[in-house]
A and B are shown apart, each in its own frame.
Chain A
Amino acid sequence: MTGASRGIGAAIAIALARDGWPVGVNYRADRKAAERVVAQIEGEGGQAIALRADVAESSAANELFGSLEQHYGAPVLALVNNAGISRDDLVPSLGDDEWSSVIEVDLNAAFRLTRRALVPMMRARTGRIVNISSVVGLRANPGQANYAAAKAGLIAFTKTAAVEVARRGVTVNAVAPGWIDTEMTAELPKGLLESIPARRAGTPQEVAACVRFLASEEASYVTGAVLTVDGGMAA
């Protein structure tokens, strides 16, 4: 679980742990928050370990997987690519760094982690990769061209990876949340609620429930899919 110290990531980590997954709670900087997630999981009888890494660094994939494989003595059979940032600006004002940093964390990191995850999963003949995309990858949202490109790229990557490894029992899917109540969306534009058929933002738990399903044994025939969790916004 990348980016699991807060928001949607933390909710997913907790939900997966409740399903029996030992969880690697990756965080970039907020160790205390990650440790709170670990403590909550352990308090509920689950297993978790906090893992520091900045997924923007190319060494992160090997570090995270190496640590987990060593700690639990087993291959990592589920990966949730959730770490993400946004650096909003209209295209004419969008700087090179704002563009590339979002692509790096939201898309390139997911590629590196997936690449590292796949072969052990293939050899185990089972695996689950869930990429947290966004409705912004499906429908335009002014000011988020970089985020949209990364999230749409993540969807296309999901489908291709899924088709490559399907016959090894490894599924690769995407979840596309709409507006979800977290720190990242604390400042919502006015009038946004009117554009959401459900007339409310979603909760991290509602996104986590979808990831929990996709990571489960029951979802073994679902692959290359995009599950939107958006109260109808992108429909």
Chain B
Amino acid sequence: MPAVTTEQVETRVIEALASFGPEADRITRESTFEELDIDSLDLVELAQIVEDEYGVVLKGEDMKEMKTVGDAIDVIVSRAD
């Protein structure tokens, strides 16, 4: 698995989240899922995308801990190595 950069993951995560509804330019690392109207169904889909593309498995408990976009990016990057 080639090394992933934080920038790549950030771009991909924002792209995925934007496909669930919010405008891409509203999404920042500091944005909370709540303010973006991203709910647990969206996170299930995000987890599948992350698993398919980075081989990183995000479980239910992981998703509950993530409050911001940055939280998600950091967990993915830390497990992708």
- Residue on B nearest A165 in the bound complex, by CB: B41
Q: Is B4 an interface residue (CB 8 A)?
A: no
Q: Indicate whether A77 reaches chain B with its CB closer than 8 angstroms.
A: no
Assess whether B44 is interfacial by the CB under 8 Å rule.
Answer: yes
Question: Is there contact, CB below 8 Å, between B48 and A168?
Answer: no
Chain B contacts of A168 at CB under 8 A?
41, 45
Check: A199 CB closer than 8 A to any chain B CB: no
User: Is A123 engaged at the interface, CB distance under 8 Å to the other chain?
Assistant: yes
Q: How far is the CA of A119 from the CA of B45 in the complex (A)?
A: 7
Q: How many of chain A's residues have a CB under 8 angstroms from any CB in B?
A: 7
Q: Is the CB of A123 within 8 A of B41?
A: no
Question: CB-nearest residue of chain B relative to A166?
Answer: B41
Cβ-based interface call for A69 (8 A): no
Q: Check A122 for interface membership: any CB of B closer than 8 A.
A: yes
Task: Tell me the dominant secondary structure on chain B's binding face.
Answer: helix
- List chain B residues, Cβ under 8 A from A119: 44-45, 48
Bound-state CA distance A119–B49 (Å) is: 10
Q: Within 8 Å CB of B44, what residues of A?
A: 119, 122
Closest to A164 in B: B41
Q: Does A167 contact B (CB under 8 A)?
A: yes
Contact-size category for B: under 10
B65 to chain A, nearest CB (A): 21
Q: Mark B28-51, 1 if CB is under 8 A from A, else 0.
A: 000000000000010011001100
* Chain A 131-165 interface residues, beta-carbon cutoff 8 Å to B: 164-165
CB within 8 Å of B: which A75-131 residues: 119, 122-123
A164–B48 CA distance with the chains assembled, in angstroms = 16
Q: In the complex, what's the smallest C-beta–C-beta distance from A76 to chain B, in angstroms?
A: 15
**In the complex the two chains form, is A167's CB within 8 Å of B48's CB?**
no
A119 to B43, CA, bound (A): 11
**Cβ of A171 to closest chain B Cβ, rounded Å:** 15
A122 to B48, CA, bound (A): 10
Q: Which residue of A lies closest to B51 (CB)?
A: A119
**Distance (Å) between the CB of B72 and the closest chain A CB?**
17
* A119–B48 alpha-carbon span in the complex (Å): 7
How close is A69's CB to chain B, nearest CB, in angstroms?
Answer: 13
Docked complex Cα distance between A119 and B51 (Å): 12
Query: Which residue of chain B has the shortest Cβ distance to A120 in the bound complex?
Result: B48
Assembly CA distance A3 to B11 (angstroms): 44
**Distance A122 CA – B39 CA, assembled complex (angstroms):** 14
Pick 14 A–B contacts, CB within 8 A, sort by A: A119-B44, A119-B45, A119-B48, A122-B41, A122-B44, A122-B45, A123-B45, A123-B48, A123-B49, A164-B41, A165-B41, A167-B41, A168-B41, A168-B45
Interface residues of chain B, those whose CB is within 8 Å of chain A, are: 41, 44-45, 48-49
Interface residues of A (CB under 8 A from B): 119, 122-123, 164-165, 167-168
Q: A123-B45, A164-B41, A165-B41 are in contact. List 8 more A-B contacts (CB 8 A).
A: A119-B44, A119-B45, A119-B48, A122-B41, A123-B48, A123-B49, A167-B41, A168-B45
